[in-house]
Structures are given as C-alpha cells and as structure tokens.
Amino acid sequence: MYVSYPELYALCVKALRSYDLPQGIAEATSEIVAWSEFVGIPSMEVLLNELNNLDVKTMVKVQEIKNEKHVSILEGYKGSGLIKSRLAADYLLSKAYENDHEAAVYLINVSCSLSLVKNISINARHGFGGIMQWLSKDGASIWAIVYPNQSYPTIIRGDLIKGYKKHETIEKYFGKNGKFHLPVEYKVAERLLMICTDNITLLDCISTELRDTLQGSNYIYNPHELSRRKRISWDKGLKISKEKWNILHSLPNRLEDYSYLDFNTTK
C-alpha cells in the first residue's frame, strides 16, 4: 500500500498517544519515524519493536547524571531511542546555546537505530552542525554528520582501527583526554553520542579523518541520496507494509477523540 507523509505521521501520533505519551513528544517522535521512512530508512519496524517493549513508567524519563561545561551524560533507563533521543537532542541544543555554541551529550541505556539521525538534522535548522555516533548490534561504529542548515546528513559505517589516535582532531575530541571523552564507567553497549557545534572546521576535519579512521568504511547514505528518496516518496507516496500499518492502527485506543488528526476536517 502507498501512503502520504501526513497519513503516516498522523498514524504514528495516534499510536503513540494511545500509550498516553504527551502530545508534543508523540509529534516529535512521529516526525522522526515518518521522515526516516520517506528518506528510505526503515523505521516503522523500529517503532513497533520499541512500543512492544515500552515501560510506561519510564517512557519519557531521562535523568542527567553528569553535567560538565561541554559534555553531559543522560540516563535513558533502557528506554525507546525514538522517544528519548529527541528529549536528549532538545537538551543538547540548550547546552550548546549556553556553552559557546558547542556541546555534547551521551544518552546511555537506550535503543539505537539509523532513524535517530533525524535529531541532528532538526538541530541543524537552528544553525548548528551535528555529529552522532553509536555502535550497531554487530559492534560496528555508525557515524552521522550534518552541517548547519543542511536537511540531510551523511551516514558512515565502519570499525575503528588501532591507528585511531594518530588522527589529531578525533584524538583531541574523543581520545582519553579529549573534550568529548566518555568516562569508562559509562561505556555501556547501548549509548548514543550527539554533538552540536557551529564549528565548520571541526565538522570538515572529523569528516576527513573518518575516511582514514574507519576500517572498511562505507557510506550508508549520503545527503543527495536521502534527498532523492524523499522527493520520490513525497511525489508518488511511500510504499509500506500493510501488515505494519494495520498493527499500528489497531493499537489500544485510550483517547476518545482523534479528530485533530483528520487533515480533511475544516474547523
């Protein structure tokens, strides 16, 4: 079946609100899912898996456990990356404004997926470049980089090699004594790093050094490809699994009125 962006977005909002998720968070999460699907990053499956494992007591709980000038660490309580990454990205944006337009946040104990790269693209609307990094389930390092006011990131997958420390900028920011170093006690398997910066030189240097640093690195997506996919899906509609659509549509409905989601209603 084929759906439009508003249709997929509205369905996701409805599904998330059925879990009593606050309206604003439901909308922000739905934007991540719909955008990701329309640029070719499978996200409906991610959403369904996370909803199946959602702990309603901690579904929007994010706890600041370490706060330094340029680096903060947030506890995600083994929660949904789709939901909590947006909360962390908003927190990061405020930290960047406070700290000379450069800040980093580690969100630990959350599920990570390619869908989350939308967060740094959202922050790019505010004039900040962004870097995101996490480890895939098979242990590969995933990096995403976006420039200020850029709509689509570059996403790279690869494994860090032993010669990593010879790269000046990466060592300066991510090494043992680096500006954005993560203390060993917080190095859990499921962790997401997000950086906000308006330092174009930093973004250029990291991008260049990653090509040498990542063994067997390859581009998962580049901005032009993501833009092309979005344009095609937007014009022709997005082909999705009817089964997944029906599952989301049939989730427990705890609200009495969803008329605000009817895009054809005139008020």
Query: What's the number of domains the chain is made of?
Result: 1
pLDDT value at residue 139: 80
Q: Please indicate, yes or no, if residue 178 is contained in any of the structural domains.
A: yes
Q: Please indicate, yes or no, if residue 148 is contained in any of the structural domains.
A: yes
Q: Please indicate, yes or no, if residue 111 is contained in any of the structural domains.
A: yes
Report the chain's mean pLDDT, rounded to a whole number.
Answer: 86
Residue 133 domain boundaries: 2-247
Task: Please state, in angstroms and rounded to a whole number, the distance separating the CA atoms of residues 20 and 255.
Answer: 8
CATH number at residue 91: 3.30.1370.60
pLDDT value at residue 175: 75
pLDDT value at residue 168: 75
Q: Please indicate, yes or no, if residue 257 is contained in any of the structural domains.
A: no
Q: Please indicate, yes or no, if residue 107 is contained in any of the structural domains.
A: yes
Q: Please indicate, yes or no, if residue 264 is contained in any of the structural domains.
A: no
Q: Please indicate, yes or no, if residue 141 is contained in any of the structural domains.
A: yes
Q: Please indicate, yes or no, if residue 233 is contained in any of the structural domains.
A: yes
pLDDT value at residue 264: 41
**What pTM was estimated for this model as a whole?**
0.86
pLDDT value at residue 90: 95
pLDDT value at residue 167: 67
| pLDDT beneath 70: ranges in the chain | 158-167, 212-219, 252-267
pLDDT digits (tens, 9 = 90+) for 223-251: 999 999 999 999 999 999 999 999 999 88
